[in-house]
A = this chain, B = another copy of it.
Amino acid sequence: MLLRLSGICLGCTLEWVCDWHDPEQLEELLDLELRDSGESHDQLLSRVRDVAKYSVKTNHPRFFNQLFSGLDYHALAGRLLSETLNTSQFTYEMAPVFVLMEHVVLTKLISMVGWPSGDGLFCPGGSMSNMVAMNVARYHAFPQVKQQGLWALPRLAVFTSQECHYSVMKAAAFLGIGTDNVFHVKTDQSGSMDPQDLEVKIMLARSQGAVPFIVSATSGTTIRGAFDPLETIADICEKHCLWMHVDAALGGSVLFSKKHKHLVKGIERANSVTWNQHKMLTTGLQCSAFLVRDTANLLQKCHCASATYLFQKDKFYDMSLDTGDKTIQCSRKVDCLKLWLMWKAVGTKGLAERVERALSLTRFLAEAIKKREGFQLLSEPTFVNTCFWYIPPSLRGKENSDDYQDRLSKVAPAIKEKMVKEGTMMVGYQPLNGQVNFFRMIVVSPQTSQRDMDFCLDEIERLGKDL
């Protein structure tokens, strides 16, 4: 209870990260059933309060559970306005402000990637952006696929690292390419793609009769925050005439920082980039830019269906402004306003400072971990992901015992259960490449401070010391 209260003293604006209840309990508390008749305003207000009360506070300074967290009030204002205006980003006629705004925002992002020009659109999440990348790359290599399907093509092969985001697999399945045709390239100790193994895998695919067409490199892997070596990968892609996609959903935002943009050196040689602003830039879900270097209207050609009720050819304005046919969606939410408004509010410099602050806080956390007994880094963080084990006193010095790994694997889940039930913080855990369950802290929220880092380590120790 004392520690719970200290959570407030340390300057949290919200008391708890979450207010855990078992599903059965929560169902009872909420009364979710939908009935024939409506309810009074008072009842509705109390329902709204309950929905907020029992939801996880992703903007809490001690929420480190996902790749997004924190809250920017300007971005929130943009989101509330987008919802209120309730429009769809089909055409200039329907969304004049947002067609122009999306263009300005995407053009700015394109210039930050380092391309003189390009094209793009906002997709409903990074997985969708990565899927679109794979489709565009396929169409670019084999335009006949749109009409004739994959039966008209040789078997295709996709290359990505072992530590890529799982959306690459989902994309291969969904696009009819098949997950067996995704070749996983080895990673080095830090989690970056091994370019030598990429060459090996390209040869392997060819020897099996498959035709390589895309390499999906990662800038900021989901678990360890690793950056693939883009320059070398670009050389390989050029040599083999492969589409180079960079999944920079998490890591793209280092482009704001002079100090850290070296992490994505070579990104300007990519053919396409996924970059989620709802992660490090805290625009709120969803804001995922899919960018292509192409300037020959590839997105339009690849995705258009030319519906006559939306994209009439006899309109009175420049119909190239009707960008909706570049997407695979029909109705498409406005995702640019929240980013644009926040950018206007804090400027490019303000966003750069946030990125640098997040990396510096991560560095602080890693150093704190190194100093603490019972904490062990998985590897030095290069970005905003800190992966570490907490080793309770009962396990210390027993690294060589037979059941050590098995017992260690149960520590993170046990601590996670306790922290969620107490509601003091939230952090993720997972195994990776044969290494048993470890914590992964993601530090991106502008609301988070060094005191929160210390609190988290204290809290993990408090919850885990008797395990």
Interface segment, one of A35-43, A260-268, A449-457: A35-43
Across the interface, do A86 and B345 meet the contact criterion of CB distance under 8 Å?
A: no
Q: Flag A65-94 by CB within 8 Å of B: 1 or 0 each.
A: 110100100101101110111111010111
Given known pairs A30-B100, A83-B83, A347-B35, the reply for A330 and B126 (CB within 8 Å) is yes
Q: Are B80 and A80 in contact (CB under 8 A)?
A: yes
B127 touches A55 (CB 8 A): no
Which of A18-26, A189-197, A370-378, A394-402 sits within the interface?
A18-26
Complex partner residue of A178 from B32, B147, B156, CB under 8 angstroms = B147
Would you list which residues of chain A between 88 and 107 have a CB under 8 Å from chain B? Answer: 88, 90, 92-98, 100-101, 104-105
Q: Which of B68, B104, B181 contacts A32 (CB 8 A)?
A: B104
**How many residues in A have their beta carbons less than 8 Å from beta carbons of B?**
142
Residues in chain B near residue A278, CB distance under 8 A: 331
Partner-binding segment picked from A292-300, A305-313, A360-368:
A305-313
Contact, CB under 8 Å: B176 / A145: yes
State how many angstroms separate the Cβ of A146 from the closest Cβ of chain B: 5
A437 within 8 A of partner (CB): yes
Contact B100 A27 (CB under 8 A): yes
B97 and A26 contacting across the interface, CB-CB below 8 Å:
yes
Asked if B174 and A328 sit within 8 Å, CB to CB, the answer is yes
When C-beta atoms are compared, the residue in chain B nearest to A35 turns out to be B347
Segment among A199-207, A226-234, A237-245, A425-433 that sits at the interface with chain B: A425-433
In contact, A124 and B307 (Cβ under 8 angstroms): no
> Closest Cβ of chain B: how far from A433's Cβ, in Å?
10
Residues of B within 8 A of A349 (CB): 36-38
Residues in B with CB closer than 8 Å to A305 are 166-167, 169-170, 173
Q: Which 3 A-B pairs have the closest CB atoms?
A: A149-B178, A176-B176, A124-B124
Beyond known contacts A44-B344, A124-B125, A314-B409: 9 more, CB 8 A cutoff? A21-B96, A23-B317, A51-B85, A51-B97, A68-B331, A80-B80, A150-B178, A165-B330, A316-B416
**What are 29 A-B contacts with C-beta separation under 8 Å?**
A23-B100, A23-B317, A26-B97, A32-B104, A38-B344, A39-B344, A44-B341, A52-B85, A55-B87, A55-B98, A58-B86, A65-B94, A80-B84, A125-B332, A127-B328, A127-B330, A145-B173, A145-B176, A148-B178, A149-B155, A150-B150, A151-B151, A151-B155, A166-B305, A173-B303, A309-B430, A312-B430, A314-B410, A316-B413
